[in-house]
Amino acid sequence: MAEEMTEPVQAVPEEEAPKQEAPKQEAPKQEDPKPEAPPQAAPVPAEKPKKKDGPALTVLTVLLVLVGVADLALWGLAGFYFLGNL
């Protein structure tokens, strides 16, 4: 196999390193040919007419809540009797 021959890199001390300073030139300010357009706002969706809740919705909601409360009471009562018979 062939061996690679590399020469060690010699570090130049900072004192002897040549100083390279970039010439400071201010770039002339260029104006944009067209001014920035203001950001476009999202289109406002048309408002839908609100439907009035009828009395049927209120009655059904109350019945649903009453059924839930009755279900909870029955499960509580069944649990009470089940634990009492142990």
* pLDDT value for 29: 63
Write the pLDDT tens digit of every residue in 43-70.
777 787 777 788 999 999 999 999 999 9
Mean pLDDT of the chain: 77
Q: In the 8-state DSSP scheme, what is residue 7?
A: P
d(CA 40, CA 82): 67
pLDDT score at 45:
78
DSSP 85: T
Write out the two tokens for 60.
């059904």
Residue 5 token pair: 């021959």
Angle at 50 between CA 48 and CA 54, to 5 degrees: 150
Residues 10-46: tens digit of each pLDDT: 665 566 555 666 656 666 566 656 666 666 777 777 7
